[in-house]
């Protein structure tokens, strides 16, 4: 649900929501995630501000349906009950806002919209020391935690994890890994990223997203995501070698991929040589490129029969 936001104070940090932008760049400015400054709202104002969400609990992928008696083998689990509190917004005493796409409107004044989640302060505060600082120790807390620089879908996954300690949302998809990484780091919750990676492992991935996800994980030492990516890359090597996004990997990341393909013997050596030649031509890696060429030669050494021309290009027909 997107609503126009009124009375928000302070600047906002704009960032890519679903792209493969570098998370460090997205958080360098103001951290990308922060609490709104106090607007001195009264308790009565806060009560009217909170609007319970209408998401039905039965949308949750859960074996035990909601609403059954609280005793016996079919009683609702603790996880289900906590998720019900979040998704219904029952007794919510605070909100989390995230920038969202505005619906079509004839009013030019409506330029900034937020998706709003009714939450419970105690659940947020006990999730991490950073959240406790934001919602309990912050003297300017006004009942609204505003999160910028990430997508609404990633924030919903983040909040469901806070309530249930699991990532089970149907919203999980590979392109959100960058946003989940930002949230995990910003709020000191590494277990969120680990659980997200485990959920990703169970899914089919779009081939054009695999190498960007691996690049992100490799750059920032996100070991859980990197492991899942490498498993997919090795398993589907025969088809992924034709993926255009492979040409965009940094040379050291490509080296890591080729090492795994060689060890697993999933891609023939002659295909790997063709790949290196194409990568070299697209990225202009010759003797003159003193920054990249030394590392590129490490990959060439895997193939003793490969020769170079006077400029340093692979001489292979």
**Local confidence band at 108 (pLDDT 50, 70, 90 cut-offs):** low
User: H-helix or E-strand containing 185?
Assistant: helix 177-186
On the question of pLDDT at 21 being above 70, the answer is: no
Q: pLDDT tens across 26-51, in order?
A: 444 444 444 433 334 444 444 444 44
Residue 233 CA to residue 292 CA, distance in Å, equals 23
CB atoms within 10 A of CB 130: 14
Cα angle vertex 114, ends 109, 115, to 5°?
145
Asked whether the predicted pLDDT for residue 234 surpasses 60, the reply is yes
Q: Cβ contacts of residue 201 below 8 Å, gap of 6+?
A: 228, 231
Strand partners, 114: 3, 99
Flag whether pLDDT at 221 surpasses 60.
yes
The separation between the first and the last C-alpha atoms of the chain, rounded to the nearest angstrom, is 57
Cβ-defined contacts of 186-193 (< 8 Å, 24+): 186/27, 186/31, 186/32, 186/33, 186/130, 187/33, 187/127, 187/128, 187/130, 187/131, 187/158, 188/128, 188/129, 188/130, 189/127, 189/128, 189/161, 191/165, 192/158, 192/161, 192/167, 193/222, 193/224, 193/225
- C-alpha–C-alpha distance, residues 90 and 25, integer Å: 37
**Residue 302 clears pLDDT 60, i.e. is over it:** yes
Between 121 and 34, the more confident residue is 121
State the CATH class of domain 1-201: alpha beta
pTM equals 0.68
Q: What is the mean pLDDT of residues 5-16?
A: 37
What's residue 123's pLDDT? Answer: 93
HSE-CB for 273 with a 13 A CA cutoff: 16
Strand 113-119, strand 144-147: pairing: unpaired
Q: Are 117 and 53 in contact (CB under 8 A)?
A: yes
Average pLDDT over residues 188-215: 93
Where does the pLDDT of residue 262 fall: very low under 50, low under 70, confident under 90, or very high at 90 and above? very high
Is 50 exceeded by the pLDDT of residue 94?
Answer: yes
Mean pLDDT over residues 74-99, rounded? 85
- pLDDT of the residue at 169: 85
Average pLDDT over residues 255-281: 95
Which has the minimum average pLDDT: 49-53, 115-119, 164-168, 231-235? 49-53
- Give tens-digit pLDDT for 57-79: 434 444 444 444 444 555 568 88
| pLDDT for the residue numbered 285 | 95
Lowest mean pLDDT among 33-47, 86-100, 299-313: 33-47
Question: For residue 225, what pLDDT band results from cuts at 50, 70 and 90?
Answer: very high
Q: According to the model, what pLDDT value does residue 49 have?
A: 44
Asked whether the predicted pLDDT for residue 96 surpasses 70, the reply is yes
Question: Of the ranges 81-85, 86-90, 177-181, which is most confident?
Answer: 177-181
- The encoded tokens of residue 163 equal 């309530």
Q: What is the chain's mean pLDDT, rounded?
A: 79
Highest-confidence segment of 10-19, 63-72, 136-145: 136-145
Question: Which residues are registered as beta bridge partners of 314?
Answer: 308
> What is the percent of the chain with per-residue pLDDT over 90, rounded to a whole number?
57
Q: Region 185-207: what's the mean pLDDT?
A: 93
C-alpha to C-alpha distance for 67 and 74, rounded to whole angstroms: 10
């Amino acid at each position: 649900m997107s609503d126009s936001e009124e009375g928000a104070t302070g600047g906002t940090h704009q960032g890519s929501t679903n792209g493969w932008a570098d998370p460090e760049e997205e958080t360098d400015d103001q951290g990308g995630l922060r609490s709104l400054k106090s607007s001195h709202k009264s308790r009565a104002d806060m009560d009217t501000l909170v609007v319970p969400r209408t998401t039905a609990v039965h949308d949750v992928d859960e074996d035990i349906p909601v609403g059954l008696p609280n005793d016996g083998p079919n009683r609702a689990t603790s996880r289900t009950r906590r998720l019900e509190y979040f998704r219904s917004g029952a007794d919510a005493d605070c909100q989390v806002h995230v920038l969202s796409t505005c619906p079509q409107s004839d009013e030019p004044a409506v330029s900034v919209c937020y998706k709003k989640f009714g939450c419970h302060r105690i659940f947020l505060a006990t999730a991490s020391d950073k959240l406790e600082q934001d919602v309990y120790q912050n003297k300017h807390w006004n009942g609204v935690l505003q999160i910028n620089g990430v997508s609404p879908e990633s924030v919903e996954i983040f909040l469901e994890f806070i309530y249930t300690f699991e990532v089970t949302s149907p919203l999980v998809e590979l392109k959100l890994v960058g946003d989940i990484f930002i949230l995990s780091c910003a709020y000191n919750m590494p277990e969120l990223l680990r659980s997200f990676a485990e959920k990703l492992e169970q899914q089919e991935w779009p081939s054009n997203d695999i190498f960007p996800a691996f690049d992100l994980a490799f750059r920032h030492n996100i070991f859980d995501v990197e492991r899942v990516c490498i498993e997919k890359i090795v398993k589907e090597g025969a088809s992924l070698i034709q993926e255009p996004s492979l040409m965009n990997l940094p040379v050291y990341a490509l080296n890591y991929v080729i090492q795994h393909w060689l060890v697993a013997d999933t891609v023939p050596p002659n295909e790997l040589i063709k790949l290196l030649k194409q990568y070299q031509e697209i990225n202009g890696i010759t003797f003159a490129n003193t920054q990249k060429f030394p590392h590129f030669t490490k990959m060439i050494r895997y193939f003793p029969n490969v020769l170079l021309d006077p400029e340093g290009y692979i001489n292979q027909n």
